[in-house]
């Protein structure tokens, strides 16, 4: 029987103080190490506690189960990425929409590639429900970032065309997953990455009528 846990989207507690944030990140980093060493099916809260050096009570303040920890890791990955991407976009203001599509796809695929090993073990063999939840999180965060960065006003959101953006985000996330699930340890894929980025960017820009 597959192990399916209910992931609590409303995290039990979010760290605010510097020391608490450090402990929280230590738990996420430890979970990633255990995941790569043992795989999803052998990932337990006990192993995460031992690996992180944090007390059980501390870990359970933030997470109800291992799926919550993995969801937290994905959320942190996305938040860190979009924070850095926002800095880059704001440093290149008043560019064309096509330019920002190129930046988004280039940076996201490189970011995914940097964390490909952890992501491979994360998505390899996990229950379908957890996969769906994680993919939904990635899609929602990507769409939220696009609107927050480029269409902050509600009227502008509607004018931007909600449906095309949703489909675009789904295509990009789907491509991320394809790269993650075809990852092979020790394999260098950098040579083909530039061409894949160009092809995906061209596809997206044509769909959004930016070419």
The two domains 11-64 and 67-207 share their CATH topology (first three levels equal): no
More confident position, 31 or 194: 31
Model confidence pLDDT, tens digit, residues 4-56: 344 444 556 778 788 999 999 999 999 999 999 999 999 999 999 999 999 99
| pTM: predicted TM-score of the whole model, two decimal places | 0.85
Q: How many CA atoms lie within 13 Å of 196's alpha carbon, on the beta-carbon side?
A: 15
Specify the DSSP element, H or E, that contains 44: none
Q: Which whole-number Å values give the CA distances from 28 to 13, 23, 75, 113, 150, in the listed order? A: 14, 9, 10, 19, 31
Model confidence pLDDT, tens digit, residues 105-119: 999 989 988 898 899
**Mean pLDDT confidence for 181-203:** 79
CA 176 to CA 72: how far, in whole Å?
Answer: 19
Q: What is the C-alpha end-to-end distance of the chain, expressed in Å? A: 49
Place of tokens 């040579």: 191
Query: Does CATH number 1.10.10.60 belong to domain 11-64?
Result: yes
CB 150 within 8 A of CB 160: yes
Model confidence pLDDT, tens digit, residues 129-156: 889 999 999 999 998 898 888 877 655 5
Report the pLDDT value the prediction gives residue 183, as an integer from 0 to 100: 75
CB 209 within 8 A of CB 133: no
Report the pLDDT value the prediction gives residue 103, as an integer from 0 to 100: 93
Question: Judging by beta carbons within 10 Å of its beta carbon (0-12, 13-18, 19+), is residue 68 exposed, middle or buried?
Answer: buried
Query: Does CATH number 1.10.8 belong to domain 67-207?
Result: no
CA 107 to CA 11: how far, in whole Å?
Answer: 28
Residue ranges covered by each domain of the chain: 11-64, 67-207
């Amino acid at each position: 029987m597959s192990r399916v846990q209910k992931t609590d989207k409303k995290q039990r507690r979010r760290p605010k103080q510097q020391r608490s944030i450090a402990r929280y990140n230590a738990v996420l980093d430890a979970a990633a190490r255990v995941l790569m060493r043992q795989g999803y099916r052998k990932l337990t809260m006990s192993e995460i506690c031992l690996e992180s050096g944090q007390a059980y009570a501390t870990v359970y303040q933030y997470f109800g189960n291992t799926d919550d920890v993995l969801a937290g890791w994905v959320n942190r990955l996305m938040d860190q990425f979009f924070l850095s991407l926002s800095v880059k976009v704001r440093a290149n203001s008043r560019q064309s929409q096509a330019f920002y599509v190129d930046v988004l796809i280039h940076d996201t695929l490189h970011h995914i590639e940097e964390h490909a090993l952890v992501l491979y073990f994360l998505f390899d063999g996990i229950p379908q429900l957890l996969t769906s939840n994680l993919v939904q999180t990635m899609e929602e965060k990507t769409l939220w970032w696009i609107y927050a960065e480029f269409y902050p006003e509600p009227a502008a959101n509607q004018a931007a065309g909600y449906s095309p953006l949703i489909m675009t985000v789904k295509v990009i996330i789907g491509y991320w997953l394809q790269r993650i699930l075809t990852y092979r340890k020790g394999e260098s894929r950098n040579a083909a990455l530039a061409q894949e980025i160009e092809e995906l960017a061209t596809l997206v820009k044509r769909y959004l009528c930016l070419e």
